[in-house]
């Protein structure tokens, strides 16, 4: 029973992470009404760095075993924090939520390909079928025939594609060291390195913003961005990455458009779309195929 619970825990964490990540677009749109996209990134990464540093200090030291590991975490931060955050929020400000959700499908495609190239994952027919099913559900849900890839959104679309590639690289190359150091210390260093770039750049972007005029709703949306799709989501996502294959982490991204659509219906009062039911079936079928474990024993990943 305990072994079953240990195997189930990463999937519960990843599902919750997608709820938080799925809320990022809604919270981000509210925050963008009051703050520049680069400033939001600065607040998000700076707040995350402070929170994760304090949490790690309460649980142990920040020391890494080798000097080269600091360089590796700096590299991971470039793809998983610095570029990922800047590209997402700037892209979100320039394109539609529909296009953003559609282009997020590229994350597992990029991640599994890169992960297989570096030897962290192995493709098989079950994963490929699962990816196709989940991708089909996402595409059916979004209905790309209604996606607007006009010149007005092209720049944002390109940035979201690059965001997907950046995050996929991070997922694919960071697994070994994250497994070695555990979630909390790993994510603390990722955000610390990320804040070196994101915080100063974000501060500069606030030069023309009159903070005293920012409404309470704007500050609450910003706080939500920092807490839910940042501190909680990044920690649990990193914790899960240390316990399952990168492809499993990546495929859960397919749930984000579903969750984002639900948030749009209940929070933004968008009309109900019956396509969601079939899309949900396809997405969950794909997630099940990719995450299903074979009966033969597999070498367990180190626990945190």
Taking the C-alpha atoms of residue 140 and residue 87, their distance in angstroms, rounded to an integer, is 25
Residue 218's nearest CA partner among 43, 30, 63 is 30
- Work out the mean pLDDT of the chain and round it to a whole number: 83
CB neighbour burial string for 235-255, b if at least 16 within 10 angstroms, e if fewer: bbbbbbbbbbbbbbbbbbbbb
- Using pLDDT thresholds of 50, 70 and 90, give the confidence band for residue 299: very low
Q: What is the pLDDT of residue 294?
A: 52
More confident residue, 113 or 198: 198
Q: What is the pLDDT of residue 295?
A: 39
Provide the whole-model pTM. 0.78
Q: Centre a 10 Å sphere on the Cβ of residue 218 and count the other Cβ atoms it contains.
A: 17
Domain ranges, ordered by start, for the chain: 6-291
Range scoring the smallest mean pLDDT among 30-34, 77-81, 135-139, 192-196: 135-139
> Do residues 73 and 177 make contact, with C-beta atoms less than 8 angstroms apart?
yes
Q: Does position 302 have pLDDT exceeding 60, yes or no?
A: no
Taking the C-alpha atoms of residue 277 and residue 231, their distance in angstroms, rounded to an integer, is 31
Q: Does position 201 have pLDDT exceeding 90, yes or no?
A: yes
More confident residue, 45 or 157: 45
Task: State the first-to-last Cα distance of the chain, in angstroms, to the nearest integer.
Answer: 19
CB neighbour burial string for 60-71, b if at least 16 within 10 angstroms, e if fewer: eeeebeeeeeee
Residues with Cβ within 8 Å of residue 242, at least 6 apart in sequence = 175, 178, 179, 182, 183, 186, 301, 302, 304
Q: Does position 273 have pLDDT exceeding 60, yes or no?
A: yes
- Using pLDDT thresholds of 50, 70 and 90, give the confidence band for residue 270: low
- Using pLDDT thresholds of 50, 70 and 90, give the confidence band for residue 189: very high
Give residue-wise pLDDT tens across range 205-215: 999 899 999 99
Highest-confidence segment of 11-20, 23-32, 194-203, 284-293: 194-203
Q: Does position 195 have pLDDT exceeding 60, yes or no?
A: yes
Give residue-wise pLDDT tens across range 250-268: 778 778 777 877 777 778 6
Q: Does position 301 have pLDDT exceeding 50, yes or no?
A: no
Query: What mean pLDDT is predicted for residues 13-17?
Result: 92
Residue 186's nearest CA partner among 101, 108, 243, 103 is 243
Residues with Cβ within 8 Å of residue 202, at least 6 apart in sequence = 38, 39, 40, 41, 42, 43, 45, 46
- Using pLDDT thresholds of 50, 70 and 90, give the confidence band for residue 171: confident
Give residue-wise pLDDT tens across range 55-66: 899 988 999 999
Q: How many CA atoms lie within 13 A of 288 on its CB side?
A: 6
Burial of 101 (0-12, 13-18, 19+ CB in 10 A): buried
Taking the C-alpha atoms of residue 183 and residue 14, their distance in angstroms, rounded to an integer, is 13
Highest-confidence segment of 34-48, 172-186, 234-248: 34-48
> Do residues 171 and 89 make contact, with C-beta atoms less than 8 angstroms apart?
no
Handedness of CA 262, 266, 270, 274 (dihedral sign): positive
Long-range contacts of 197-200 (CB under 8 A, 24+ apart): 197/82, 198/41, 198/42, 198/44, 198/45, 198/46, 198/81, 198/82, 198/85, 198/86, 199/42, 199/45, 199/46, 199/49, 200/42
Residue carrying the six token digits 């706080």:
223
More confident residue, 12 or 281: 12
Share of the chain above pLDDT 90, in %: 38
């Amino acid at each position: 029973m305990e072994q079953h619970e240990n195997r189930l825990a990463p999937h519960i964490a990843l599902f919750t992470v997608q709820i938080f990540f799925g809320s990022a677009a809604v919270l981000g749109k509210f925050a963008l009404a009051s703050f520049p996209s680069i400033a939001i990134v600065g607040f998000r990464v700076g707040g995350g760095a402070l929170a994760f540093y304090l949490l790690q200090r309460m649980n142990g030291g920040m020391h890494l075993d080798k000097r080269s590991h600091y360089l590796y975490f700096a590299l991971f931060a470039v793809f998983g924090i610095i570029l990922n955050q800047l590209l997402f929020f700037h892209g979100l400000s320039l394109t539609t939520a529909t296009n953003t959700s559609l282009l997020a499908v590229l994350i597992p495609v990029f991640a599994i390909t890169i992960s297989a190239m570096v030897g962290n994952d192995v493709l098989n027919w079950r994963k490929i079928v699962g990816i196709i099913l989940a991708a089909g559900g996402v595409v059916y849900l979004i209905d790309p025939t209604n996606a607007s890839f006009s010149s007005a959104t092209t720049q944002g679309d390109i940035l979201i594609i690059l965001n997907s590639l950046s995050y996929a690289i991070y997922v694919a190359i960071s697994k070994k060291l994250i497994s070695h150091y555990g979630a909390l210390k790993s994510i603390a260093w990722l955000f610390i390195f990320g804040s070196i770039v994101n915080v100063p750049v974000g501060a500069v972007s606030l030069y023309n913003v009159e903070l005293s005029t920012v409404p309470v709703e704007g500050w609450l949306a910003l706080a939500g961005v920092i807490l839910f799709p940042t501190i909680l989501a990044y920690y649990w996502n990193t914790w899960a990455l240390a316990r399952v294959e990168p492809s499993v982490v990546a495929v859960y991204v397919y749930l984000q458009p579903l969750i984002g659509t639900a948030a749009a219906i209940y929070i933004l009062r968008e009309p109900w779309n019956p396509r969601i039911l079939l899309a949900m079936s396809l997405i969950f079928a794909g997630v099940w195929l990719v995450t299903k474990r074979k009966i033969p024993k597999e070498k367990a990943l180190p626990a945190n």
